[in-house]
Amino acid sequence: MIARSRLVVLMLLLCTNTIFLILALAYYSTTLQGASPLQYAGVIPTAFIEGEMRINLRENFRIIDFSNLGVSGYDIYKMKVETNNLDIPQTEYEGITESWNNWVLDMDEIKMYGTDKNEKIVGNNSLWFDVKPSNISNTWIRYGDWNLHLDLSQYNALTFYIKSNVTVSWQHNEGGGTAIFIGSGNWSIWNYLKYDFNITTNWQRLIIPFDDFEVVGKPSLTNINYIIISVHAVPGSPCYRIWIDGLSFVNIEESSVYCNGLKVNIPLTSSEIESDNVWVWANIYGYNQKDIFRNKIILAKSGPAEPNITLFVRLYPRSFSYYGSVNFTDWSGTTVDSYVWDNLTTILPLLHNIRLVVSVSKENFRGALNDEPLLLNGNKSTIYLYTERYPLENVITFPIVNRENYTVRLYSKTSWISALFYPMSRALWMLQRFRGANYPLLLFYVLISTVEVIILFLKT
């Protein structure tokens, strides 16, 4: 009789502990309804809005404020920087390409040469020369008789214009090919900088930073004695004419772009550059520590460039709600995940190619966007958040327009027991932020229950 009473007490204690645990989880899941998963756990929602923000950064810095927007956070998953207006002077260095004075030509392969007042870019003339058709098709012109003694230490790049009258294939090889050389000493002493290029039938301006040259030997920029332009068409090419103009040395001031503290250097050659994962609000677990950027995008620049910046942004929902229902006629369950963005009228006009991105699970049987049906049977793909370690599968993209509010609901079929406890399971997922305490507390609960069982049985 005593043993049975103690067993009843034990069962009552275990039931009481379990009821308190369920009530605590139910209360916690209720308090979390409508909260952002980013705020509580750094959990990435499976629905977000993406778009491209295009900015011409003429001022030294710009701030884009998200504080009053109905989003919980944002990512800049890619940034593209383009600069097309670097201030590079179009002048010649001491009139190098105004006349053939101080030039030496390879007359074995060059049949004619001269100046051209019509085909020019800089100054009064350009220089041209015709290359004989032969099995070699390789020739050169040299500025300076090995005694220029130029000090180029105040410059950081070389620039010139060049074109051909016919389209041929250009070869590149060691010690020759289609290239420009600047060197110290003479050709018998291989101390030079070399840069390979190709020639088109339209004028092209080559802007070559000294850092991009191949270094052979030990040339000194404080004592450059010659400049050689070598052209080498494939053997058997027809006679062709080469024009050159505007050969000069320039000092290009370097420019940089800063986005939320990340520095991106703009190449001197003004090419397009891209950077991935520029700003990540929250990794899969945990907070991003740079609080200053939590509600703001801060762009800044240094240098003369006026870059065109494209930010590829991802806007996370302001709130996330979840609930389940039971159909007692067939004892089936339905769960609903609801994502809400609001107060978007100030940010969406800044975006291009706006789209809603939704990751659909195989359990989802219906979707709604602002209470309108959302088709979930479209083409699906896999995207990666931050790195390939975090794939988001079965992704469907929907184009959207500028409006103040968006609400997405995803409906899933499940068992009645899963639907009944669905809010609590989502609450446990949200507790990841406190995962360091979750498991010890759960083990503590199991330990207390186990101790209760042992004590009661020992007294029996």
pLDDT tens column, 206-230: 989 999 999 999 999 999 999 999 9
Pair (39, 67) in one structural domain: yes
Residue pair 382/309 in contact by the 8 Å Cβ criterion:
no
Pair (227, 296) in one structural domain: no
Question: Who has greater pLDDT, 131 or 69?
Answer: 131
What confidence score (pLDDT) does residue 6 get? Answer: 63
Pair (209, 303) in one structural domain: no
In a domain, 222, yes or no: yes
What confidence score (pLDDT) does residue 426 get? Answer: 67
Range scoring the smallest mean pLDDT among 165-169, 203-207, 242-246, 390-394: 390-394
% of the chain exceeding 90 in pLDDT: 35
What confidence score (pLDDT) does residue 440 get? Answer: 58
DSSP E strands in 342-430: the ranges are: 351-359, 364-369, 372-373, 381-384, 391-399, 406-415
Pair (348, 441) in one structural domain: no
What confidence score (pLDDT) does residue 458 get? Answer: 63
Pair (187, 272) in one structural domain: no
What confidence score (pLDDT) does residue 316 get? Answer: 86
Pair (340, 210) in one structural domain: no
pTM over 0.75: no
In a domain, 350, yes or no: yes
Last residue of a domain, one of 250, 279, 303: 250
pLDDT tens column, 402-414: 888 999 999 999 9
Pair (153, 170) in one structural domain: yes
**Does position 370 have pLDDT exceeding 90, yes or no?**
yes
**Does position 12 have pLDDT exceeding 60, yes or no?**
yes
Range scoring the smallest mean pLDDT among 86-90, 120-124, 432-436: 432-436
What confidence score (pLDDT) does residue 355 get? Answer: 94
Q: For residues 446 and 438, give the distance between their C-alpha atoms in angstroms, rounded to a whole number.
A: 12
Q: Look up the domain containing 455 and give its range.
A: 1-32+434-460
Pair (263, 405) in one structural domain: yes
For the segment 138-148, the average pLDDT, to the nearest whole number, is 90
Residue pair 267/84 in contact by the 8 Å Cβ criterion:
no
**Does position 27 have pLDDT exceeding 90, yes or no?**
no
Q: Who's near 404: CB < 8 A, 6+ residues apart?
A: 342, 343, 344, 345
Nearest residue to 79 (alpha-carbon basis) of 278, 290, 272, 308: 278
pLDDT tens column, 336-368: 988 999 888 888 888 999 999 998 888 889 999
% of the chain exceeding 70 in pLDDT: 75
What confidence score (pLDDT) does residue 446 get? Answer: 63
Pair (141, 273) in one structural domain: no
DSSP letter at 236 equals T
For the segment 179-199, the average pLDDT, to the nearest whole number, is 91
| 3 state DSSP class of 291 | helix
Q: For residues 149 and 147, give the distance between their C-alpha atoms in angstroms, rounded to a whole number.
A: 6
For the segment 392-409, the average pLDDT, to the nearest whole number, is 90
Nearest residue to 408 (alpha-carbon basis) of 363, 362, 359: 359
Question: Who has greater pLDDT, 430 or 4?
Answer: 4
Pair (269, 287) in one structural domain: yes
244: domain CATH number is 2.60.120.260
What confidence score (pLDDT) does residue 432 get? Answer: 47
What confidence score (pLDDT) does residue 169 get? Answer: 87
pLDDT tens column, 240-265: 999 999 999 988 888 889 988 888 88
Pair (173, 154) in one structural domain: yes
What confidence score (pLDDT) does residue 69 get? Answer: 76
| 3 state DSSP class of 86 | coil
Range scoring the smallest mean pLDDT among 34-38, 109-113, 160-164, 193-197: 34-38
In a domain, 91, yes or no: no
**Does position 49 have pLDDT exceeding 60, yes or no?**
yes
Last residue of a domain, one of 250, 277, 295: 250
DSSP letter at 119 equals S
What confidence score (pLDDT) does residue 42 get? Answer: 46
In a domain, 92, yes or no: no
Q: Who's near 445: CB < 8 A, 6+ residues apart?
A: 17, 21
In a domain, 90, yes or no: no
In a domain, 340, yes or no: yes
Q: What's the pLDDT band for 16 if we cut at 50, 70, 90? A: confident
**Does position 460 have pLDDT exceeding 80, yes or no?**
no
Pair (74, 117) in one structural domain: no
Helix or strand (DSSP H, E) at 441: helix 435-459
Q: Who's near 455: CB < 8 A, 6+ residues apart?
A: none
In a domain, 94, yes or no: no
Q: What's the pLDDT band for 288 if we cut at 50, 70, 90? A: very low
Question: Who has greater pLDDT, 453 or 322?
Answer: 322
For the segment 70-93, the average pLDDT, to the nearest whole number, is 78
Last residue of a domain, one of 205, 226, 250: 250
Number of domains in the chain: 3
For the segment 361-386, the average pLDDT, to the nearest whole number, is 86
